[in-house]
Chains A and B, each alone.
Chain A
Amino acid sequence: MPLQATVSNTATGSGQRAKSDTLYRGIFSATSGITIMGVAKIFRDSTDHVLQLDSFAVSAGPDLKVYLAKEYPPVNFINLGSLQYNSGSQLYKIPAGVNFSEYSYVLIHCQQYNHLFGYASLK
Chain B
Amino acid sequence: MKKILFTGLLGLLVQNKIMAQGCSDAGFCTLPIRSTKIGHTAIQQRNALSLETSYNIGEEQTTIIGLSVQYDRKFSNALTWHNKITASNMHGAFGNAFNAGDIYSTVTYVPKGQKDNAVSFLAGVKIPLTGSNDKINGVSLPMVFQSSLGTYDFVAGASLLLAKWELNAAVQIPVINSNKNSFLSTYSPIPGFLSTNLFQRKADALLRVGYPFTAGGGKWLFNPNLLGIYHLGKDSYENIFGKREAIQGSDGFTLNANLQVKYLLPKNASLQFSIASPLVVRDSRPDGLTRSLVAAVGYSFGW
Interface residues of A (CB under 8 A from B): 3, 5-10, 63, 65, 74-82, 84, 95, 111-112
Contact = CB atoms under 8 A, between A and B. Distances in A.
Contacts of A79: 184, 197, 238-242
Contact of A76 (B182, B186, B242): B242
Given A10-B189, A75-B242, A77-B241, 11 more contacts: A5-B239, A8-B186, A65-B182, A74-B242, A77-B242, A79-B240, A80-B240, A82-B140, A112-B131, A112-B133, A112-B180
Of A3, A78, A111, most buried by chain B (CB within 10 Å of CB) is A111
Contacts of B133: 63, 112
B186 to A, nearest CB: 5
A95 B180 contact: no
A8 B187 CA distance: 5
Interface residues of B toward A: which range?
10 to 19
5 contacts: A8-B186, A63-B182, A79-B241, A82-B140, A111-B198
Residue in A74, A80, A112 with the greatest tally of chain B CB atoms within 10 Å: A112
A92 to B, nearest CB: 9
Nearest to A75: B242
Name B's interface SS.
Answer: loop
Interface in B230-276: 238-242
Contacts of B139: 82
Contact of A82 (B131, B182, B238, B241): B182
Interface of B: 131, 133, 138-140, 180, 182, 184, 186-187, 189, 197-198, 238-242
Given A74-B242, A82-B139, A6 B182 contact: no
A65 B184 CA distance: 12
Contact of B186 (A7, A63, A65): A7
B198 A81 contact: no
Given A79-B240, A79-B241, A82-B138, A111 B182 contact: yes
Given A76-B242, A79-B241, A5 B180 contact: no
Given A77-B242, A112-B131, A112-B180, A6 B186 contact: yes
Nearest to A84: B138
Nearest to B189: A10
Contacts of B198: 111
Contacts of A10: 187, 189
Given A63-B133, A63-B180, A112-B131, A78 B240 contact: yes
Nearest to A67: B242
Given A5-B186, A65-B182, A111-B180, A78 B138 contact: no
Nearest to A64: B138
Ranked 5 nearest A-B pairs via Cβ: A81-B187, A79-B240, A112-B180, A5-B186, A9-B187
